[in-house]
Copies of this chain bind each other. A is one copy, B any other.
């Protein structure tokens, strides 16, 4: 049997689309083979069953592995080495280790590639460009965008956990159990350029954007003082060059961490046809004016905002840190969805 793999047919200009004739032994079967993807091979805690790996993969599609976190240390300072966790937190295992997170990254970047290809084609055809940067005075209920006029096209990326995975920093934190420390993060920015990885799919999308003549601009809250080291980290991860003040926009000493001001400065120069990030603040600072988290979650998907996701605004998963990782039990799990085990709650 010969079948043609042409599933990526909607990708045209930017996405490298593979078409291949594939011989298939139609009678062959690989069904039933199931290898346990046990995390225990190198686990530092073989005695404690890993939360997900202890359950066979065959039933892992159902929720077999509720995170059962133990209490956090009361002291905010770093716990002694003996208190280091026995295994990485679920969020870290997912983001830095899983095929699922890698696929989710590639999915977002495939969509970005198709979107940018269409915008480049619009430009060639003389169709008006669409900006994705909210204008001053716009609201999330009434979004309106900075005019593009005849400006050159650009795509604006956040950096951390959007195009770069901070594997070295988070691995250090996970191993030592140390709480976040701003000074240590600064040292990481300065010295960690070789311990990052590209988010899966980011490299290909960035290369394709550049080939299509779309400027690649980074807008990050990393420190401007560390611009050279951050540019080296990007370059080292295969993401090409970034030039401070032109294609690399960072937080100045003492400045607020909002990104709108920098977005508007970038939009003065470029027609920003796409924004890419892992935090809602990578799209508009307005999201961070909503509280509590239920209101923030609601506005993120309200009717005027929802159509943007995947069509101009592209979001990457990050369960490890940031403004999405917040809320107490009653906020994360609303009272109207509270379940009591009929056999009694533990």
Contacts and interface: CB of A to CB of B under 8 A. Distances in A.
Query: Most chain-B Cβ atoms within 10 A of its Cβ — which of A101, A196, A333?
Result: A333
A60 B338 contact: no
A144 B172 CA distance: 42
A233 to B, nearest CB: 12
Given A144-B5, A185-B63, A85 B69 contact: yes
Interface string A134-156: 01111100111101000000000
Contacts of A7: 130, 132, 307-308, 311-312
A101 B311 contact: no
Interface string A166-193: 1111111111111110111101100110
Number of copies: 2
Contacts of A175: 329, 333
Given A70-B79, A161-B63, A317-B317, A329 B87 contact: yes
A57 interface: yes
Given A52-B322, A62-B222, A187-B341, 7 more contacts: A26-B137, A36-B291, A52-B325, A63-B170, A87-B329, A89-B91, A317-B317
Contacts of A278: 61, 100
Interface stretch (A209-217, A238-246, A251-259): A251-259
27 contacts: A10-B118, A11-B311, A17-B307, A22-B144, A26-B135, A49-B76, A52-B321, A61-B277, A61-B281, A70-B72, A88-B328, A93-B324, A96-B332, A99-B293, A100-B318, A101-B324, A104-B317, A107-B315, A110-B309, A111-B310, A169-B339, A170-B333, A171-B337, A172-B340, A174-B333, A196-B337, A201-B306
A342 B107 contact: no
Interface in A1-29: 1, 3, 5-11, 15, 17-18, 20, 22-29
B257 A59 contact: yes
B176 A345 contact: yes
Contacts of A65: 180, 320-322, 325
A99 to B, nearest CB: 3
Contacts of A68: 72-73, 79, 85, 173, 177-180
Contact of A89 (B27, B89, B118): B89
Interface in A54-111: 55-74, 76, 78-79, 81, 83-108, 110-111
A103 B195 CA distance: 29
B89 A174 contact: no
A327 to B, nearest CB: 4
Nearest to A261: B31
A55 B321 CA distance: 10
